[in-house]
Structure 1
Amino acid sequence: MDFGQFTRKVDSNGDGMVSLAEFVAVVQMIKQAHLFKPDQSQQDNGNHDMVTCLRVVDYSPTHVHAIDPVRHLQGFMFSAKPDWASVRWVHLGGFKRMDDLNVRRLAIKYQLHPLAVEDCLSADDKIRCKYEHYDDHSFLIVPVLRPLDGLKRAHMEACINERRRALFNKDRTLRKGGALKPEDDFFNDRKFVAAPRASSMMSFFKATVFTKPVASPYKPIGKGAPTSPSSRHRKRTEIEAKLDALHVLMRHPQQLCVFVSKDKSHVLSVQEEETDNALPSSPKPLWHFVFERNLTKSYSKLRNHDASFLVVSILAATVDEMMPLVAVFEATLKMLGKLLRLDGIQFNAKRLARAKKHLIGIEKIVRPMLDLVQDQLLDQDEFSHGEVKNYLRDVMDHLKQMAVDIRDHHQTLAALVEEDKQLRAQHQTDVMYAMSVVAACFLPGTFMTGIYGMNFENIPELKLEYGYYVWWVVLCVIVITLMFYLKVIKKWI
């Protein structure tokens, strides 16, 4: 092919010249063709399932077209956004870091900066929240913290709803002038309740009382203090079963990278593993929240805004994933308090250490995200106007509420640790007290034994016929007198 043929092939507008945009497009096509060569495709044979994780949606105020999943990957890489679409969202989920061919293909297609691609494919386990601007796009990294699987999520929601119903019943009892049971007043329950998402008290009432609770494989903890050993054992078993079910709540934090084009018409999101191991057929959380719950609605505000609103929606979905992990600590700490009072010194203090470890892990995700939204995103021009700003502030409010809840949970956990220490210290004091009383009672006997055990020959009592019995009688009289003195007169026992 000579240069003239090449020019006619590249010249898309027919002006007989090759513009910079046309030249860049040709270079991109050449690079893409190289990545689709047979030798490159063979390297990706082990990751053939990655194609099923690529999803694309084009939308405008009146139309939505989604491809879920993209099966003809090569055709998509050489295609462009349709003219009727205002925004195209490309979501790649389940990629492998350091060696993912699809990320490199997308980087060529959308001219992503090499530093941003390097951060996206970095193998570092520490995920740092960041937002950066490049010449052709902006780049956002946030961690994704999710429940371990669908079963854990269902059990957490059941515990949260059960706890909210218990608090509602408590408030209703107080309004009716009834008396609370001792176990209902633990560390001022109302203080440590996670703030509901409902906009009013009535909606919160409907959401927590009249909605159908999530099914849980465990029976609710019985009300009232156990009055017999069997009931105490049964209640302890129920609490331990629920706490064991909440033993491992969340999976390892995942990295979510979002690329936004300069003209706000393209959004590329890249996320690691996004399926539940226990429930492979479960919906993908990020895609389900943004696309199925928002974009598919004809009245969705997401359709009427540019890519900035889509980024805020992705952030909202990420925050919603974390909220049950924070809210369930209210019920967890309540159950730990009950179990501590039931077990006493037999309580396993490792449960408190484990809860603190989980809480610190969640805090390490929530705090940086709050700083990112509050200190960086709200100051950007694309997020500081209209509904985009309002919804981003709503995300910030939820992060702030989670941060406050985490702080309150830390205080409650510290109070539980202190109570456990006091119980163990009190038990040790009781043991030392009992040993001191026993030692005081036998001290006169030791004294008398020391006297009559000396090797003097002129001790008249040693010659008595009933001296042994007299010794025991005198010792018993002294012990009884001492016990009477300590218990009745001094009231030390």
Structure 2
Amino acid sequence: MALGKKLVFPKRKKKKSRVQNKMGKAPGTISYMGDKERSDSVIFSTFYNTDGFQTKEFRTLDEFLKSEQTGHISWVNIIGISDEPFIERLGKHYNLNPLVLEDVVNTEQRPKIDEYEDYIFGVFKMLYISEEDEIVGEHVALVLLENTVLVFQEVKEDVFNGLRDRITGKMGRIRSRGADYLFFALLDAIVDNYFLVIENLNHRIEVLEEDVYNNPEPIVAKNIQQLKKEILKIRRWIYPVKELISRLIDSEHPLIKKDTKLFLRDVHDHTVEINESLQIYREMSMSLMEMYMSNMSNKMNEVMKVLTIMASIFIPLTFIAGVYGMNFEHMPELHFRYGYYVVWVVMIILFIGMMLYFKKKKWL
């Protein structure tokens, strides 16, 4: 190859990333960063106190703002975060910082907690098992105000049905508590659902262990690799939650009452247990690949052992056949009347003797 000649590689089609969509924009720019198809935002609002509750659906922001009530705890559930003007108007109504709204519409935002003078903002990943038995991760943002909790979701599916039943059925203490307890209950529902995800991972690891031992096919290695990636992704979503809950417990913010912090400690204990389980499953997924490679190596050794034994048996037989297959005229054995039968007897004795020897050595 001539010196100085430039190598030309085929160009790969580059996919525009979400980071590139964000680059160059001013901080606080409300720009939806997600994979869902854009749609209008819908508000499902639940007002409640010790006397009763009321649930309404609002298709327009104006309709919602006109219906706001006082003297109640409000759970405002915003479904759909791709409608940027809607999110911006709602944020202005509640005096939310533009940086908060930027994180609300950024589905790649890592879990975080930010404390402001009048509210507390948090971003989390809501994980649940789909009907196809797949782990689904959805972006959810929470804002704790004095008597209101705002919940921003990409899709309507969530893990809060149990909480809704407690409010509508007046079960437990939630109807007699403030917005900070509702904030805790939402976090508790998110974290509790992580246990279902952990169980799903545990089941998949057990299935893969059986496959590794009984059927170490190439597809098993692919499934192990996919599981490892999924565990790492889930760990990236769940791991920071422990520190965030700890921050809420240690917080001096007036919106979080002292008795609510006692319940947050229980959530913190759950996050510690979940993180420990994730670490164990991560190590198990790595050992699964090692077990797979070891089993494949053992399988190959078994094949090589059989081939070696066959070669060892036929080498002396081939030698005898080769000697008497030579075309020399003066070979004494060629004129021996029973030479053919003698050679066959010798070859059979050699074959049986070698088989018995290999068996005695437990090579067979």
Task: Using structure 2 for the length normalisation, give the TM-score.
Answer: 0.78
1:269 deviation in Å?
Answer: 1.6
SS at match of 1:349: helix
Q: 1:469 to 1:366 in 2, by over 3 A?
A: same
2:94 — aligned with what?
A: 110
1:416 deviation in Å?
Answer: 4.0
Q: Pick from 61, 65, 69 the counterpart of residue 57 of structure 2.
A: 69
Matched, 1:89 2:71: no
Q: Pick from 229, 248, 251 the counterpart of residue 377 of structure 1.
A: 248
Q: 1:292 to 1:127 in 2, by over 3 A?
A: same
Q: 1:413 to 1:366 in 2, by over 3 A?
A: same
Matched, 1:425 2:297: yes
Matched, 1:138 2:124: no
Q: 1:344 to 1:55 in 2, by over 3 A?
A: closer
1:321 deviation in Å?
Answer: 2.7
Letter in 1 for 2:234: I
Q: Pick from 396, 402, 411 the counterpart of residue 274 of structure 2.
A: 402
In structure 1, runs of 5+ residues without a counterpart are 1-45, 153-245, 276-283
2:140 — aligned with what?
A: 256
| Distance across 2 between alignment mates of 1:455 and 1:118 | 91
1:435 — aligned with what?
A: 307
Tell me, yes or no, if the aligned pair for 1:54 and 1:92 is still in contact at 8 Å.
Answer: yes
1:54 deviation in Å?
Answer: 0.6
Letter in 2 for 1:369: V
Structure 1 residues 241-263: Cα deviation after superposition (integer angstroms, max 9, x where no partner): xxxxx4xx122x222112223xx
1:384 deviation in Å?
Answer: 7.0
Matched, 1:58 2:61: no
2:153 — aligned with what?
A: 271
| Distance across 1 between alignment mates of 2:149 and 2:201 | 35
| Distance across 2 between alignment mates of 1:139 and 1:491 | 69
1:491 deviation in Å?
Answer: 4.7
Letter in 2 for 1:56: S
Listed as ranges, the matches of 1:204-243 within 5 Å are none
1 or 2, which has the higher helix percentage?
1
1:3 — aligned with what?
A: none
SS at match of 2:142: strand
| Distance across 1 between alignment mates of 2:288 and 2:76 | 47
SS at match of 2:129: coil
SS at match of 2:232: helix
| Distance across 2 between alignment mates of 1:350 and 1:47 | 36
2:356 — aligned with what?
A: 484
Letter in 2 for 1:115: L
| Distance across 1 between alignment mates of 2:353 and 2:208 | 46
1:408 deviation in Å?
Answer: 2.9
1:346 deviation in Å?
Answer: 8.6
Q: Which has the higher contact order (CA 8 A, sep 6+)?
A: 1
SS at match of 1:66: strand
1:466 deviation in Å?
Answer: 4.5
1:92 deviation in Å?
Answer: 0.6
| Distance across 2 between alignment mates of 1:403 and 1:77 | 41
Letter in 2 for 1:290: L
1:365 deviation in Å?
Answer: 1.7
2:199 — aligned with what?
A: 327
SS at match of 1:128: coil
Tell me, yes or no, if the aligned pair for 2:81 and 2:153 is still in contact at 8 Å.
Answer: no
Q: 1:65 to 1:486 in 2, by over 3 A?
A: closer
1:184 — aligned with what?
A: none
| Distance across 1 between alignment mates of 2:168 and 2:362 | 77
| Distance across 2 between alignment mates of 1:75 and 1:452 | 104
Q: 1:342 to 1:301 in 2, by over 3 A?
A: same
Task: Using structure 1 for the length normalisation, give the TM-score.
Answer: 0.59
Structure 1 residues 429-456: Cα deviation after superposition (integer angstroms, max 9, x where no partner): 2211111111111111232244445565
1:128 deviation in Å?
Answer: 0.7
Q: 1:437 to 1:267 in 2, by over 3 A?
A: same
Tell me, yes or no, if the aligned pair for 1:138 and 1:260 is still in contact at 8 Å.
Answer: yes
Letter in 2 for 1:112: L
Letter in 1 for 2:98: P
Q: 1:310 to 1:447 in 2, by over 3 A?
A: same
1:392 — aligned with what?
A: 264
1:392 deviation in Å?
Answer: 0.9
1 or 2, which has the higher strand percentage?
2
- Name which of structure 1's ranges 449-458 and 422-431 shifts more when overlaid on structure 2: 449-458
